Chains A and B, each alone.
Chain A
Amino acid sequence: MKNSNKILDETPFQTAGPFLHIGCMPNKIKINNIYKNDLGEVPFKNKNEIEMITVEGSVFDGNGIALDDVMLETWQCDENGQFFEDNGFARFIPNKLTKQFKLFTVKPGQVENLHGKNQCPHICLSISSRGLNMTLNTRIYFEGDDLINDPILSIIKNSKGNIDSLVAKKIKKNIYVFNVFLQGNKETVFFDI
């Protein structure tokens, strides 16, 4: 660390705009000759023997319209609660026709938090798009887990945040639905991390 007491200002955000695919997932829009693969196509490599889950859903604007020009990014630990530097990241967009995104991944394990308290299994989610001057951060928790003792969800509860908006609903074995509401009475809780 350099010998300086001055803390620099973080560079400000600007919207990712409607054409983010060019830079972030060129192969998805048929710019095929530059990168072999788009970044974050699969969150984990070599997870063939492990049971996978699907998290699917849509991102709705204030008019209740499911958006297809948003980019979602997720970051998570593996099934044992272990974070890796080069695994656990995924990047995806909703399908143009169905307006649904699908994340195929491993169900994250519990993570040890401060003071030995555990955090419930969760996936960190960020959302960037036209109309969003900053990237939004939230988390996906899972229905059926013991959510009552989670230290982060306790903070949300104490702040009178809508905890339901953070919990993916189980609709079938290994299939969860997680919808994001940017506005309205079901507005998703977004974090200052």
Chain B
Amino acid sequence: MNVKSLVKRNYKKQPEIDFPDYKSSIFRAPKNKKISIPSNLEIFGPIFNKNIISKLDNDLTLNFSKNKMSPLGHKIIVHGTVSDQFSNPIKGALIEIWQANAAGKYLHQDDKNSAPIDPNFSGCGRSLTSSDGSYEFLTIQPGPYPYPNRGIEWRPMHIHFSIFGESFGQRLITQMYFEGDPLINLCPMVNSIADEKAKKSLVGKLDTSRSNIQNILAYKFDIVLRGVKQTYFENRQEGL
């Protein structure tokens, strides 16, 4: 019988969970090794209907603005594709993003940074990918900001991404950084990934082919979710 399952995750290309340079991980990262189980039940969903999406959900420059006032900062397009590990585009993938405003401040009561909030910017957006796996957001360049870690450190400019592909086992939460930001290499969260190529894959590239529209800078960030493979199993009783 043929059984579908997810391509095994390559942890060498993923961040170290227990990474004390990122101080918050010290009392939160589990110490035991993960136990491998078959993923044949985590491949069915959830899939989100496009009727949850409103027109301005992927336009962060307008979806929280009062009286059509623009948020402060310069506008950017963030776009790319969501595909699986076999290069198949994933249609209908839900991408949710959140970010700081141009001053490096989140609209969140737990953000103790003294930078100002922007009354026209929430930093919240979402989008479903098109049939070719593509997505696009119009937003504001987020600022870098200080945070307490080993003393005060600075986060590089970034946008948080949460992605649902076609199944719970493909679930991904990550961050996109911006090409050329010198803070990237100093960031312990980035450096929790040992593999240089994997690290670089989180950096959105300046996309000049899209950047000249209305004086907006564009960044391209492609996302790869786990692939689904079919495996043939002999029909025997023992083992999985």
The yes or no answer to A172 lying at the interface (CB within 8 A) is no
Tell me the minimal C-beta distance from B85 to chain A in angstroms: 5
Binds A, one of B69-77, B194-202, B207-215: B194-202
CB distance from B67 to the nearest CB of A (A): 13
- Give CA–CA (A155, B109) in the complex, Å: 43
The total of interchain contacts (Cβ-Cβ below 8 angstroms) comes to 270
Q: In the assembly, what is the distance between CA of A35 and CA of B126, in Å?
A: 10
Contacts of A49-63 to chain B: CB distance below 8 A: 61-63
Alpha-carbon distance A132/B34, docked complex (angstroms)? 14
Q: How far is the CA of A152 from the CA of B25 in the complex (A)?
A: 28
Q: Is the interface of A mostly helix, strand, loop or mixed?
A: loop
Q: Is the CB of A187 within 8 A of B193?
A: no
Place the interface of chain B in its size category.
35 or more
Q: Is there contact, CB below 8 Å, between A114 and B106?
A: no
Is A148 part of the binding interface, using a Cβ–Cβ cutoff of 8 Å? Answer: no
Decide if A146 is an interface residue (CB 8 Å cutoff). no
Q: Which residue of A lies closest to B229 (CB)?
A: A7
Could you give, for residues 52-95 of chain B, a 1 whenever the CB lies within 8 Å of some chain A CB and a 0 otherwise? 10101100000110000000000000000001111110000010
Contact surface of B with A, Cβ cutoff 8 Å: 1, 3, 6-11, 13-17, 19, 22, 24-32, 34-42, 44-49, 52, 54, 56-57, 63-64, 83-88, 94, 96-99, 106-111, 122-126, 160, 162, 168-169, 171-175, 189-190, 192-193, 195, 197-199, 201-202, 223-227, 233, 235-237, 240
Find chain B residues with CB under 8 A from A19 CB. 98, 106, 108, 110-111, 160
Chain A residues close to B by CB (< 8 Å): 1-2, 4, 6-24, 26, 29, 31, 33-37, 39, 61-63, 65, 67, 69, 73, 75, 83-89, 111, 113-115, 119, 124, 126, 128-136, 151-152, 155-156, 159, 161, 182-183, 187-193
A33 to B19, CA, bound (A): 38
Q: Is the CB of A188 within 8 A of B30?
A: yes
* A87 CA / B44 CA spacing, docked (Å): 11
Which residue of the partner chain, among A133, A136, A161, A187, contacts B189 with CB atoms under 8 Å? A133
**Nearest Cβ on chain B to A193's Cβ, whole angstroms:** 5
Q: Which of B39, B63, B224 is within 8 Å of A34, CB to CB?
A: B63
In contact, B30 and A187 (Cβ under 8 angstroms): yes
Q: Is the interface of B mostly helix, strand, loop or mixed?
A: loop
- Tell whether, in the assembled complex, residue A113 and residue B64 are in contact, meaning their CB atoms are under 8 Å apart: no
CA separation between A131 and B149, bound complex, in Å?
11
Q: Write the nearest CB–CB distance from B216 to chain A, whole angstroms.
A: 21
Contact B110 A18 (CB under 8 A): yes
Q: How far, in Å, is B152 (CB) from chain A's closest CB? A: 16
Q: Which residues of B contact A73 (CB under 8 A)?
A: 171
Q: Least Cβ distance of B183 to chain A in Å?
A: 14
Is B85 a contact of A13 with CB atoms below 8 Å? Answer: no
Given contacts A7-B7, A89-B45, A126-B168, 15 further A-B contacts (CB under 8 A): A4-B87, A8-B84, A13-B172, A14-B160, A14-B175, A18-B108, A20-B98, A85-B46, A89-B46, A129-B28, A133-B29, A156-B35, A183-B27, A191-B37, A192-B35
